[in-house]
């Protein structure tokens, strides 16, 4: 279940209540009159089955609640309620497969910010990967993959393409366009420093370490694994449980490839540099393709659900149109 806390002007409260009361997948509906002060109005509390959460929120936004009031969304971890069980049965589908699109947008919005912490994590991840390349240590390479924050902007870009959000796409691309060069530059400068101080041999080349050789030698499996990881990452992003995301981060070699670009440039090993560039390009392209495809499929399922819901009597009770979205009369 998903808990909604709705602040709505008193003039709109009755329509919102009528809508929620008539929706079978809503339970524990309560109204606190005059409780809201900014903006002034009523507070409405309710629980809605996760499968119908975005559908109900879309109805509320159509009533203007999002513009004149607010809608807050919280996950209900556990609940003892026969009414809630009936509401969940009224919503078709499985809660684990449901996507609350407002949550997805919020998660991606938080992870695509180009700020000091993002650049710090990109730098640290590439530095850890650089040492992993020096020593030929797969453990350090895996650690760098986990530290790297790059999947957030990649996922945000996928969401922006599916949702047609230019602002989110621009912010995601800005984070990637700045973050990767900063990480690569850090790996380059760190390698030069290590060579200058004697910590690293002047003729060092990462090709000497077979355990990390895969980073600069992309093949068909590089693309396939990145597709699998991109799909798993988006499913983790859109599901209620996101424990699979760590595994996704370990599956892609974007951070190690970025670090190898800097390390190879400092070592003037241009063959290795070209291989790392290819690996980074293959991974980014495959993740985006898989992410967009997965999100587009999930969005198509939601749109069909939304169209079925438009014929629901709950919308008519609130005075909303029950016509299909493509055939609604223009105002």
- CATH code, domain with 110: 1.20.1080
Tens of pLDDT, residues 310-329 = 777 777 787 777 766 644 33
> Which of 165-179, 238-252, 298-312 is most confident?
165-179
Strand partners, 36: 41
Same domain, 110 and 79: no
**113 pLDDT more than 70:** yes
Q: What is the DSSP letter of 208?
A: G
Q: Where are the beta strands (DSSP E) in the chain?
A: 2-8, 26-37, 40-48, 70-75
- First-to-last alpha carbon distance for the chain, in angstroms, is 35
Same domain, 216 and 268: yes
- Reported as a pLDDT band with limits 50, 70 and 90, residue 291 is very high
Over the chain, what is the mean pLDDT?
Answer: 87
Q: Would you report the helix, strand and coil content of the chain in percent, each value rounded to 5? A: 70, 10, 20
Residues 24-33 as b or e (16 or more Cβ within 10 Å = b): ebbbbbebee
Same domain, 276 and 156: yes
- Final residue of a structural domain among 36, 67, 98: 98
Tens of pLDDT, residues 194-231 = 999 999 888 887 667 676 778 888 888 989 999 998 89
Same domain, 149 and 82: no
Q: What is the DSSP letter of 331?
A: -
Same domain, 54 and 127: no
The confidence score (pLDDT) of residue 132 equals 93
Tens of pLDDT, residues 246-262 = 666 677 789 999 999 99
254 is a domain residue: yes
The structure's pTM equals: 0.83
Sign of the torsion formed by the C-alpha atoms of 297, 298, 304 and 306: negative
* CB-facing half-sphere around the CA of 161: CA atoms within 13 A: 17
* CB-facing half-sphere around the CA of 98: CA atoms within 13 A: 23
Q: What is the DSSP letter of 252?
A: -
């Amino acid at each position: 279940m998903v808990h909604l806390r709705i602040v709505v002007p008193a003039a709109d409260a009755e329509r919102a209540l009528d809508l929620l009361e008539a929706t079978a997948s809503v339970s524990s509906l309560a109204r606190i009159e005059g409780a809201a002060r900014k903006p002034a109005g009523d507070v409405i509390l309710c629980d809605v089955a996760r499968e119908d959460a975005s559908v109900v929120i879309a109805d509320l936004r159509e009533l203007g609640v999002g513009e004149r009031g607010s809608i807050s969304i919280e996950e209900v971890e556990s609940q003892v309620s026969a009414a809630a069980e009936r509401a969940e049965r009224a919503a078709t589908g499985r809660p684990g497969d449901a996507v609350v699109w407002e949550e997805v947008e919020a998660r991606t919005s938080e992870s695509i910010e180009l700020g000091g912490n993002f650049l710090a994590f990109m730098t640290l991840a590439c530095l850890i990967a650089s040492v992993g390349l020096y020593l030929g240590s797969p453990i350090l390479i895996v650690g760098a993959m986990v530290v790297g924050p790059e999947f957030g902007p990649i996922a945000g870009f996928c969401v922006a393409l599916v949702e047609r959000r230019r602002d989110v796409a621009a912010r995601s691309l800005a984070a990637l366009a700045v973050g990767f060069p900063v990480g690569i530059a850090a790996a380059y400068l760190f390698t030069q420093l290590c060579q200058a101080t004697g910590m690293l041999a002047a003729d060092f080349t990462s090709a000497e370490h077979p355990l990390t050789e895969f980073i600069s030698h992309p093949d068909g499996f590089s693309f396939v694994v990145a597709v699998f990881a991109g799909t798993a990452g988006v499913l983790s992003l859109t599901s209620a449980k996101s424990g699979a995301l760590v595994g996704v981060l370990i599956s892609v070699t974007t951070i190690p490839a970025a670090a190898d670009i800097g390390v190879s440039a400092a070592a003037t090993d241009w063959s290795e540099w070209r291989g790392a560039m290819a690996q980074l390009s293959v991974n980014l392209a495959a993740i985006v393709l898989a992410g967009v495809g997965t999100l587009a499929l999930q969005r198509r399922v939601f749109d069909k659900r939304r169209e079925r819901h438009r014929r629901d009597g709950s919308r008519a009770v609130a005075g909303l149109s029950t016509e299909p979205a493509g055939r609604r009369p223009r105002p």
